[in-house]
Chain A
C-alpha cells in the first residue's frame, strides 16, 4: 500500500509538472473531495463493524482513553509550537499536527482545506511519524509503559505497528492498540475540519 501511495504521488507530481494544464489541475480539488467522502464513509464502516475492539474496553477500563487523548493533546501542542518555529499560521500548524500518522487522509484533506504545500507537509510529516512510531516502539515499551509505546503511532496503532506492539508488549494487550487506532481514526477528520471552521 505504501508503495502504491508513493507511486501515485510521484505520478501525480510528474503529470502536474509536465502534462496537465493549470485549468485541469484546478479540477483535482473536486476529484479529491469526492474520493475523500468515499474514504471517510468506508473508514466509518470499518470502525462501526469492529465490535470486538469496542466490547473489549470493559476488560481494560476507560483509562485506555488516555492514550488517544494524550496523543491528540500532544500533537496539537506540537503543531502550535511548529507554527511558531516555522512562521506558519496557527491553523495550518494545528492541522498538520493533527494528522496523527494518517498521511493519506490528512494530506488530501489539508490540500482541500488549505493548499497543496500544507497538504504535502502533512503527508511527509506523517510518513516521518509512522517511521518513528515503528522505530521507537521497542524502546518506549521497555522504558515507559504499554500506553506510551503507542503515543507516536496514532492512527497506525491499528495496523502498521501491531506486529511490533505484540512482540514488545504482548498479544493480550493488542486491544489497547486497536482501540487507540479507532479513536484516532475518528478524531483526525473531525478535529481537522473543526480547526478550519474558524
Chain B
C-alpha cells in the first residue's frame, strides 16, 4: 500500500493509470470475495455457523457505529463548523 501511495503521487496523474486503477481494484475485490465464499462454503459446519454469524455481525455493526459516533462527538462537539472555502480564501 505504501509503495502504491508513493507511486501514486508520481504516476497517479497518467491517464492510463487512472483508467486501469478502478477495474483492477474491482477484479481484485471480486477474486477476494469469491475465495472468501469458497473458504466459507467448504467448511463442514457452514450451515450451522450461518445463524450465529448473522447475529454476531449485527451486534458488531451496530456497536461499532454507536461507539464511533460517541467518540467523534466527544472529540468535536466544541469545534465550530468550518467556514466555506471561498470565505477563507478572501481572508
A interface vs B, CB < 8 Å?
1, 4-5, 8-18, 20, 22, 25, 28-29, 31-32, 34-36, 38-51, 56, 59-61, 63, 66-67, 69-71, 73-75, 77-79, 81-82, 85-86, 88, 96-97, 99, 104-105, 107-108, 111, 116-117, 119-129, 132-133, 136, 140, 144-148, 150-152, 154, 170, 172-173, 175-176, 186, 189-190
Contact A107 B33 (CB under 8 A): yes
Q: For the complex, give the distance between the alpha carbons of A154 and B65 in Å.
A: 9
A85 to B62, CA, bound (A): 13
The residue that B35 contacts in the complex, of A4, A88, A108, A127, with Cβ under 8 A, is: A108
Q: Which of B7, B38, B41 has the most CB of A within 10 A?
A: B38
Nearest chain B CB to A198 CB, angstrom units:
20
Chief secondary structure at chain B's binding surface: helix
Q: A66–B43 Cα gap in the complex (Å)?
A: 41
A122: min CB distance to chain B, Å: 8
Q: List residues of B whose CB falls within 8 A of some A CB.
A: 1-13, 17-18, 21, 24-43, 46, 49, 53-54, 56-77, 79, 81-82, 84-86, 88
**Pick from A41, A173, A189: contact of B3, CB under 8 Å:** A41
Chain A residues touching B, majority SS: helix
Say whether B8 contacts A46, CB under 8 Å.
yes
Bound together, the chains give a CA A73 to CA B67 distance in angstroms of 8
The 20 sampled A-B contact pairs (Cβ below 8 Å) are: A4-B29, A12-B33, A16-B40, A17-B41, A18-B41, A32-B32, A34-B31, A41-B4, A56-B85, A70-B68, A70-B74, A81-B67, A82-B60, A82-B64, A111-B40, A120-B36, A121-B57, A127-B61, A147-B72, A148-B77
- Which residues does chain B contribute within 8 Å of A28, judged by CB atoms? 35-36, 38-39
- Whether A151 and B72, one on each chain, are in contact in the complex, defined by CB atoms closer than 8 angstroms, is yes
